[in-house]
Each structure stands twice: as structure tokens, then as C-alpha cells.
Amino acid sequence: MTGPGADRTTTPADDHQGTALFAELARSVVALAAREQLRSFALPYPRSAQRVLDRMVLYCLDRGWAPPRSVPEVMAWCAEHTAGGPLFQVPAEFLSPEARLIDPVGRLPSRICLELASHGPQGQVEQEAVDLLTDLAARCGSAERYSRCRRFLADRPVIGQRDPFSDGSHWNPALWKRVKDLYEPVPEYLLSSRVLALCGTCGLPGLSFGRRAAGPGTWCESEHCPPGVHFRLIRDPGRTLLLRRSLRIFLCLPGPTEFAALAELSRAGIGHDLVPAALGAHFVHTLAAAPYLLRTYDRLEPALLASRITNTPVDATADTLVVVPRRQADRPGYRSAFATALDDDCRRRTMLTTPDELVRQIGILHSSRKGNAHA
Ligand SMILES: [Zn+2]
């Protein structure tokens, strides 16, 4: 993890044993969930699960604690123990102390687990989303075709029983041919009594456990929808297709924020172009000499977001506006944790903002550039 050439993609917290173990556990939880083994624990386990059990045993023995005896027990600990609790003691500047890897209600990888499993050189889930979109851009051949396909995916995490355009939109077989491989049958782990529940707010899958409205004891993939929202229940969803999970979380979830930000720019008469091989990145053209870079995310963990911005530069010199939903930016400590976790160079040219603040922030950046030019 700290080998030569890896310095840029590690953070001080990666050298902390509990943190490194928590991150390895996140990757194992994702691997088990991908094989539908998070509840059944059918053998054989992926090698990563066996390895993390061995590491967990050593970690506990070194500290004089009773170690876990099996992979299922390690996974039970992931639903029970928090990042900041006595077992892992992950520093609060790296991860929210109350973060859990397995959601205790959904019994599935939590959003924080998916964010952490995407962190660093061994990261997986967000990288898969980037790779799938990069392949799609190559298949599309033109920026306009790619932009249309990408918007289709961002708006449609679920494809209905009849056909992908059953919402009344114009049937477009060429578009469907390009994107259909990114959809898959509904996995067992999202079914409860053969029913697929779709959240009435975010449109993503949830688990309603027989209830019609969100509340205590229910769960949806976005993890932020308010109680009382109705689920759409699909019984025996044999012909329903779901967008791959990496794209649901890293493309569909930030979609509304990205499209709200672009709408604000268009309203202000500011031009923008999509950067194909990146998630939610656009160049923004103003009267300034060089374009600004806009990057949109919906991330729960500000330090992991900062690491992503620092370590996956789309343009290592552009002034960058990182747009997140207001509900994230307004969380206590979110903006300062994000700024602290950026490296010095990145901090100087990066600004965290929200769709409704974006145009004003561009004005501020523009004036400060002019001031610098005159200084
Ligand atoms: Zn929801």
C-alpha cells in the first residue's frame, strides 16, 4: 500500500492499522455481496474473505482480544461495529465515527462501504463505473451519442417489465443496443418475498419487508430518503432489469446534482462540455482564459471524496469546482473535512459548492483570477 509510486494515492490514515483493516473489510464485503454470499455464506468464499479473516484474527490476537472464528462472524461484526468504535478506531478525520460497512437493516454493503471499497490503489467499485463509461464512450464514437446514452443510464436505474421506453419516450433501438449490456436481472439479495421495492424518491432499489412506505425497518440504496415515502412494489420481477450497482451508486445517485448544476450554468449562459472518461466531469467555459473543471459527486464521506479529487486528476492544473448536493455540503464539518483532506496544491485550486451556489462561485473565482492578473 505504501510501495514506490503509490504515495499519491495513499493518505496518512492508510498507515493506521485499524483503518487499513476496515478498508480491506469493505472490499471483502463488496466481493461477498457481488456473489450473493452476504446472507447465505455458501462456500467457497472469495480468497479476499479468507485473507481478511486471517488478518482480523492476527489483529485481535495482537491486542489480546477474542478473534472472530469464521467469515460469517467477521461479516456480523461489520454490521455491528462502527469505524470509530473501540475495535477499529478509524480516525474521525478519515471516516465518520458512526460508519458501518454493512447496513444493519438492508444487510447489504452500506454506501460508505462502497465509497471506502473504491478508495486507494486497490479500489474497485467506482473504478468499475468509470471503466464501464469509458468503454461506452468508445462504443458510441461521438460525444453527442455518448452524452445521450449516459443521460439514459443516469435517469433509468431500472428498466420496466415491457420495454426500456415504456415510459412513453421515443423507442430508440440504436441507443438500447449500446447500453443494454450495462443492465442485469434483479439479484436475489434485493428481493424480499419475491418482491422488488423501488424507492418513491430516489427511484433506486430498496427493501420494504412488506411495508408500502419508507420508515424504520426499511432501507433504500441512497440511504437518505425521508420516512413516509411510498415504495413501488414489483412482484415477481422476472423481466425487470437493473443497471449495474456501480453505476446506480456512482452515476444515478449524483445525477440530479449534476443535471441541476448544468441547468444553472445554461440559465446563466455559461457553456460546458462533458469529459468522457470521468464521472460527472465537465469543462466550463467562461470569459476566463482557461476553462474551469466541474466535477459532480454525491458522496457521504468528505475525506474519501477529497482523496478521489486529489488522486484522479481530470486536469491537474484547472481550477476545479466540486459540486455536491446541498444536503451533503450543509452537514456539520463536511466542507472543512473535505478541504483539510485535499493536498496543498489541490486545495489552492479547488472549491466545494452546490448547484445553487455554483454560478456565484464561478463569479468569485473569476474576480480572484482577474485580481491575480492585475497584482
Ligand atoms: Zn430512496
Please, where are the H alpha helices in the chain? 17-34, 37-40, 47-62, 71-80, 111-117, 125-140, 143-155, 173-179, 245-247, 255-267, 302-311, 326-329, 334-341, 344-348, 358-374
At 176, the amino acid letter reads W
**For residue 6, what pLDDT is reported?**
35
- The DSSP annotation for 314-336 comes to SSTTS-EEEE--HHHHTSTTHHH
CB 122 within 8 A of CB 271: no
pLDDT less than 50: residues of the chain = 1-10
Ligand 1 centroid vs 113 CA: distance in angstroms?
A: 17
User: Which cell numbers in the block locate residue 79?
Assistant: 454490521
Ligand 1 centroid vs 168 CA: distance in angstroms?
A: 23
**For residue 23, what pLDDT is reported?**
95
> Does the N-terminal peptide bond of residue 44 adopt cis geometry, omega within 30 degrees of 0?
yes
**For residue 1, what pLDDT is reported?**
32
Helix, coil or strand: residue 215: coil
Ligand 1 centroid vs 192 CA: distance in angstroms?
A: 17
Ligand 1 centroid vs 31 CA: distance in angstroms?
A: 24
Q: Taking each helix axis from N to C terminus, what angle separates 17-34 and 47-62, rounded to the nearest 10 degrees?
A: 150
Ligand 1 centroid vs 229 CA: distance in angstroms?
A: 8
Q: Which residue has the cell 467457497?
A: 44
**For residue 160, what pLDDT is reported?**
82
Alpha-carbon distance of 257 to 338, in angstroms, equals 18
Where is 234: in which H helix or E strand? strand 231-235
Closest listed residue to residue 231, CA positions, set 215, 209, 252, 208: 208
**For residue 101, what pLDDT is reported?**
97
Residue 8: which residues within 8 A CB-CB, separation 6 or more? 310, 311
Please, where are the H alpha helices in 156-229? 173-179
**For residue 4, what pLDDT is reported?**
30
Q: What is the largest CA-CA distance in the chain?
A: 68
Ligand 1 centroid vs 266 CA: distance in angstroms?
A: 28
Alpha-carbon distance of 340 to 312, in angstroms, equals 17
120-131 pLDDT tens trace: 888 899 999 999
Ligand 1 centroid vs 221 CA: distance in angstroms?
A: 6
Ligand 1 centroid vs 243 CA: distance in angstroms?
A: 16
Alpha-carbon distance of 47 to 31, in angstroms, equals 9
Using the CB atoms, write b or e for 304-325: b if 16+ within 10 Å. bbbbbbbbbebeeebbbbbbbb
Ligand 1 centroid vs 199 CA: distance in angstroms?
A: 5
Ligand 1 centroid vs 166 CA: distance in angstroms?
A: 22
Ligand 1 centroid vs 223 CA: distance in angstroms?
A: 6
At 312, the amino acid letter reads T
Ligand 1 centroid vs 200 CA: distance in angstroms?
A: 7
Ligand 1 centroid vs 308 CA: distance in angstroms?
A: 25
Q: Which residue has the cell 450497482?
A: 245
Q: Fill in the DSSP letter of residue 45.
A: P
Domains defined along the chain, listed by start = 7-123 (no CATH), 126-251 (no CATH), 254-374 (3.40.1350)
